[in-house]
Amino acid sequence: MVLAFLRSTIKAAKDNGWKAALEEVKKQGLVTSLLDGNLLATKLWTDDGARLVGVDKLGNKYFEKKVNSQFGRHRWVEYADKKQYNASAVPPEWHGWLHYITDHTPEQLEDLKPARYGIEHKLNRSGEGDAYIYHSKGHALNPKQRNWTRYEPWQPT
């Protein structure tokens, strides 16, 4: 419940003064959460029973709550980026855990990861100017542009 959050804020205020408490509010993204129902619902859901399973390299937090929760809704993520978030922020190693594909945590999954063709995870930036644009096989901008000339012309020396 939201109580856990309030508790942590009050604790910060008691320990370090109100300035620290405000920083904690900002860090927790309370203001943004108040305006964004999705985030607020996640905040409200993250109560005492929730266990923080891990934090990925982007800062996303992964929670699990096994008691008093509906099975199948007992794992969730709290995005680090409160403004531009979407599902592609979840890296593949957490994806499996988050979607109940595996019970392995990423630390365990690291050992299973194939070394040969794993590439770094990238967020989907479609619509944000960094989208992937497909160029056809014959397009000049395609770095792997196909040469449709099926013969080699003679090159006079």
How many of the chain's residues bind another protein (CB under 8 A)?
A: 8
By the rule CB under 8 A, 153 interacts with another protein: yes
Which one, 129 or 156, has the nearer CB to another protein?
156
Instruction: Return the number of other C-beta atoms located less than 10 Å from residue 104's C-beta.
Output: 14
CB of 108 to another protein, least distance (A): 39
By the rule CB under 8 A, 154 interacts with another protein: yes
CB of 150 to another protein, least distance (A): 5
Beta carbons of 60 and 77 less than 8 angstroms apart: yes
Q: Work out the angle at residue 29's Cα, subtended by the Cα atoms of residues 131 and 99, and round it to the nearest 5 degrees.
A: 60
By the rule CB under 8 A, 152 interacts with another protein: yes
By the rule CB under 8 A, 111 interacts with another protein: no
By the rule CB under 8 A, 114 interacts with another protein: no
Alpha-carbon gap, residue 86 to 10, rounded angstroms:
30
Which one, 37 or 153, has the nearer CB to another protein?
153
By the rule CB under 8 A, 116 interacts with another protein: no
Alpha-carbon gap, residue 94 to 74, rounded angstroms:
15
CB of 135 to another protein, least distance (A): 22
Rg value, the chain, Cα: 23
Tokens encoding 69: 């929760």
Which one, 144 or 150, has the nearer CB to another protein?
150
CB of 147 to another protein, least distance (A): 12
Alpha-carbon gap, residue 48 to 1, rounded angstroms:
7
Alpha-carbon gap, residue 151 to 148, rounded angstroms:
9
Alpha-carbon gap, residue 106 to 113, rounded angstroms:
10
By the rule CB under 8 A, 150 interacts with another protein: yes
Interface ranges with another protein (CB under 8 A): 150-157
